[in-house]
């Protein structure tokens, strides 16, 4: 288990806040043990929240060029045919994964290939389970072209709590299946837009693990 690099700034803020809080408890309330214990407990709680949110667990990745691997931890909340209007402009099979604040929030490439399209969209912060979050929220759009010629589009979508999307990708990059391509802070969603003929291995309500669970077959 490692601590993800995206969490260092948040951890420093929490530690500085904790030091100030504990100093106030001891300096201004030296005879009130309850105030001092409150400062210690709140500091410990906030530190644990940050550590668990930005954890980077060691995993055995599922690597297979014929499979589409989950790009994130979470729960499958949408499976439907829909028109993808930004890039494909045709019907695709949408699979959406909702990431709660207790999930690992690292985002990974579902297939290997070449990044053929990337775009960042500023937007709103609707709850991630809202249908309009896919088109109205702050988000990125990434398309990876597989060696077979097939393309998969996926989006990092900010949620009501998520206020920052991080990506490590640009057009022309080589995508390695299960390699890290980004991070979303504090609750979010990832949408996949797959070819209609994709054979799915998941159903609504399934809990998936990024870099391990199989979403479908190419």
pLDDT at 185: 79
Residue 62 located in a structural domain: no
pLDDT at 161: 61
Report the candidate in 139, 181, 131, 182 with the shortest Cα–Cα distance to residue 158. 139
Q: What is the mean pLDDT of each run of 10 residues along the chain (218 residues)?
A: 90 95 86 87 94 91 95 95 95 94 92 96 69 74 95 88 80 96 85 96 96 94
Contacts of 33 (CB under 8 A, 6+ apart): none
Residue 84 located in a structural domain: yes
Q: How many structural domains does the chain have?
A: 2
pLDDT at 28: 84
In the residue annotation, 100 being an active-site residue is answered as no
Residue 112 located in a structural domain: yes
DSSP label at 208?
E
From 11, 27, 56, the end of a domain falls on 56
Same domain, 96 and 200: yes
Distance CA 211, CA 49 (A): 23
Same domain, 41 and 76: no
Backbone angles phi, psi at 190, to 5 degrees: -125, 130
Domain boundaries, position 210: 67-217
Longest dimension (CA), the chain: 71
Enter the tokens of residue 54: 């930005």
pLDDT at 102: 87
Does the pTM exceed 0.85?
yes
Residue 187 located in a structural domain: yes
pLDDT at 131: 60
Query: Catalytic residue among 18, 188, 211, 213, which?
Result: 188
Name the residue with tokens 């504090």: 186
Same domain, 27 and 134: no
Enter the tokens of residue 178: 């299960």
Same domain, 71 and 22: no
Q: Which residues pair with 113 in a beta bridge?
A: 175
Report the candidate in 156, 69, 151, 85 with the shortest Cα–Cα distance to residue 114. 151
């Amino acid at each position: 288990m490692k601590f993800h690099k995206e969490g260092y700034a948040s951890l420093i803020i929490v530690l500085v806040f904790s030091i100030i809080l504990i100093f106030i408890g001891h300096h201004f309330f030296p005879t009130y043990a309850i105030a001092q214990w409150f400062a210690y407990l709140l500091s410990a709680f906030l530190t644990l929240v940050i550590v668990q949110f930005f954890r980077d667990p060691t995993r055995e990745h599922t690597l297979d060029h014929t499979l589409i691997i989950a790009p994130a931890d979470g729960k499958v909340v949408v499976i439907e045919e829909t028109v993808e209007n930004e890039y494909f402009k045709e019907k695709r099979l949408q699979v959406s994964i909702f990431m709660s604040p207790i999930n690992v929030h690292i985002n990974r490439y579902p297939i290997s290939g070449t990044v053929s399209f990337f775009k960042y969209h500023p937007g709103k912060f609707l709850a991630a389970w809202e249908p309009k979050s896919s088109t109205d929220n702050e988000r990125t759009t990434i398309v990876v072209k597989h060696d077979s010629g097939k393309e998969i589009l996926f989006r990092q979508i900010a949620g009501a709590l998520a206020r920052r999307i991080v990506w490590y990708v640009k057009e022309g990059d080589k995508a390695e299946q299960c390699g890290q391509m980004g991070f979303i802070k504090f609750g979010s969603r990832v949408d996949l837009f797959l070819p209609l003929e994709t054979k799915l291995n998941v159903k609504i309500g399934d809990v998936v693990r990024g870099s391990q669970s199989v979403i479908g077959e190419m």
